[in-house]
């Protein structure tokens, strides 16, 4: 996929992330990078596996044995003495070898296989023995566990992700982080007109997200005053679009400050009236920054399944009064008119509202 220079940069980021998360868990370990493989030496194997499974940029991982600087005869003797612990009497097996040593592939397989008194099946074996032969030694493992995949967190620039506290937006953030983008979060709330529940939920979600990204900066934007202004001066059917456009205008300013190259939204096409194609077009019209919508083609069940998988679902479904539901009209338009929206924004003195809102932002870093 990538050039040699880019791969080196990605690997450096990945190494940093693995070391960071293991140190964060106060683990005792040693770290050895071997080209396209990484070896973590530790006595806390199960703890390490739980951490590593959440790190973006890893295709697969495994608990393994490492034999440092021993010869082929000694390695094959170890396999011959222990294979009965791994392969039952009537089970078939296959050796999967990756060879980066001076020995020939054929010789290595022959030496290892001759000590295993079990039937070989290369196409559908019951057990697989994975061997990596290197000049530094031998790796031996029996099961590949699927990693998170994607690209190392922080390797793809920064994005500003709009977090409501609901089900969709944390999933959108997760998918963007999976492609290497460092997330900064932005949460619009209506405190003191409502409780701080949505604020606390976002903080809880942040703790989950720290399994995937080393640190997280969150902007909390007080939005109640701006919404009251819109509610008292505009027609009900256009309010949602005005709220959304205002949010994105504020988000764009913060993104520029943070050097974020895109905004991220949890919208799914047609899910609610503000997420129809005409309204999505109106909401982002006039922005100079792209808006990523990782969930655009997903239905609610797919989003919920992924939310459960990444452990955000139970937090997201806690009841809350967020800044949108509090001021949502009964019959918002599914197809707004841009010229009407722009006229309303002029009458509202939207630039003044933006300035006053930004002045009251609070920031935390977790």
Average pLDDT over residues 232-252: 89
Please enumerate in sequence order all residues whose Cβ is within 8 A of that of 243, keeping only pairs 6 or more positions apart, or say none. 223, 227, 230, 323, 324, 327
pLDDT band at 236 (very low <50, low <70, confident <90, very high): confident
Q: DSSP alpha helices (H): ranges in the chain? A: 4-24, 45-52, 72-82, 105-113, 168-178, 197-209, 224-233, 239-258, 277-284, 300-309, 313-316, 338-348, 350-358
- Among the candidates 143, 166, 188, a domain finishes at 143
Q: What is the spatial distance between Cα 150 and Cα 308, in angstroms, rounded to a whole number?
A: 19
Paired tokens of 193: 């007109």
User: Which residues sit opposite 34 in a β-bridge?
Assistant: 37
Dump pLDDT digits (tens) for 178-226: 999 999 999 999 888 888 899 999 999 999 999 999 999 999 999 999 9
For residue 312, tell me if it sits in a domain: yes
Mean pLDDT, range 110-133, rounded to an integer = 95
β pairing state of 145-146 and 60-61: antiparallel
Euclidean distance between CA atoms 279 and 329, whole angstroms: 16
- How many whole angstroms separate alpha carbon 344 and alpha carbon 338? 10
pLDDT at 328 over 70: no
At 76, which CATH number?
3.30.2130.30
Residue of higher predicted confidence among 241 and 315: 315
**Residue 289 falls within a domain, yes or no?**
yes
Tell me the CATH number at 31: 3.30.70.1510
Percent of the chain, pLDDT > 90? 72
When pLDDT is cut at 50, 70 and 90, the band that residue 323 belongs to is low
Task: Tell me the residue range of the domain where 331 lies.
Answer: 158-365
Predicted confidence (pLDDT) at residue 233 exceeds the cutoff of 90: no
pLDDT at residue 148, as a whole number: 94
**Domain presence at residue 80:** yes
Residue 238 confidence (pLDDT) = 83
CA-derived radius of gyration, the chain: 27
Please tell me the total count of domains within the chain: 3
- Shared domain for 250 and 325, answered yes or no, is yes
Tell me: do 110 and 176 sit in the same domain.
no
CB 108 within 8 A of CB 74: no
**Is 102 contained in some domain?**
yes
The first and second tokens of residue 166, run together, are 């609901």
Angle in degrees, CA 48, 49, 51, rounded to 5: 65
Predicted structure pTM score: 0.86
> Does residue 150 form part of some domain?
no
Q: What is the pLDDT of residue 336?
A: 65
Give CA–CA dist 92/364, Å, rounded. 56
DSSP state of 120: B
* Residue 347: pLDDT over 70: yes
**Distances from the Cα of 138 to the Cαs of 49, 64, 80, 99, 267, in angstroms?**
20, 10, 15, 10, 49
pLDDT tens-digit map of 27-42: 999 999 887 789 999 9
Q: How far apart are CA 184 and CA 264, in angstroms?
A: 10
Mean of pLDDT over the chain = 91
Q: Is the pLDDT of residue 322 over 70?
A: no
Statement to judge: residues 130 and 84 lie in one domain = yes
The beta-carbon contacts of 301-309 under 8 Å, at least 24 apart in sequence, are 303/167, 303/168, 303/171, 303/268, 304/167, 306/171, 306/174, 306/175, 307/167, 307/170, 307/171
Per DSSP, helices labelled H in 114-238 are 168-178, 197-209, 224-233
| pLDDT tens per residue, range 52-96 | 999 999 999 999 999 988 999 999 999 999 999 999 999 999 999
CB 203 within 8 A of CB 338: no
């Amino acid at each position: 996929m990538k050039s040699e220079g880019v791969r080196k940069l990605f690997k450096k980021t990945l190494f940093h992330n693995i070391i960071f998360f293991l140190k964060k868990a106060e683990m005792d370990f040693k770290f050895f990078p071997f080209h396209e493989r990484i070896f973590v030496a530790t006595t806390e194997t199960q703890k390490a596996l739980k951490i590593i499974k959440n790190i973006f940029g890893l295709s697969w991982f495994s608990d393994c044995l490492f034999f440092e600087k021993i010869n082929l005869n000694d390695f094959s003797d170890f396999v011959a003495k222990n294979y009965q612990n791994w392969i039952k009497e009537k089970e078939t097996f296959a050796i999967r070898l990756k060879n980066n040593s001076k020995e020939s592939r054929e010789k290595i397989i022959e030496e290892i296989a001759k000590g295993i008194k079990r039937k070989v099946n290369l196409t559908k074996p019951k057990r697989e023995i994975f061997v990596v032969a290197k000049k530094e030694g031998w790796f031996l493992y029996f099961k590949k566990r699927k990693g998170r995949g994607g690209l190392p967190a922080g390797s793809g620039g920064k994005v500003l992700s709009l977090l409501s506290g609901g089900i969709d937006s944390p999933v959108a953030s997760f998918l963007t982080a999976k492609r290497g983008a460092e997330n900064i979060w932005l949460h619009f709330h209506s405190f003191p007109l409502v409780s701080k529940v949505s604020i606390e939920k976002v903080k809880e979600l942040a703790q989950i997200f720290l399994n995937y990204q080393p640190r997280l900066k969150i902007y909390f934007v007080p939005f109640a005053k701006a919404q009251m202004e819109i509610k008292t001066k505009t027609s009900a059917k256009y309010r949602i679009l005005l709220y959304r456009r205002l949010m994105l205008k504020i988000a764009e300013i913060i993104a520029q400050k943070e050097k974020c190259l895109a905004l991220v939204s949890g919208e799914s096409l047609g899910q609610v009236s503000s997420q129809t194609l005409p309204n999505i077009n109106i909401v982002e019209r006039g922005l100079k920054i792209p808006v990523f919508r990782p969930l655009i083609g997903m239905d609610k069940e797919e989003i919920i399944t992924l939310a459960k998988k990444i452990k955000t679902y139970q937090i997201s479904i806690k009841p809350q009064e967020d800044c949108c539901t509090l001021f949502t009209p009964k019959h918002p338009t599914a197809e707004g008119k841009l010229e009407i929206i722009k006229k309303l924004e002029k009458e509202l003195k939207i630039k003044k509202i933006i300035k006053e809102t930004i002045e009251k932002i609070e920031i935390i870093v977790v």
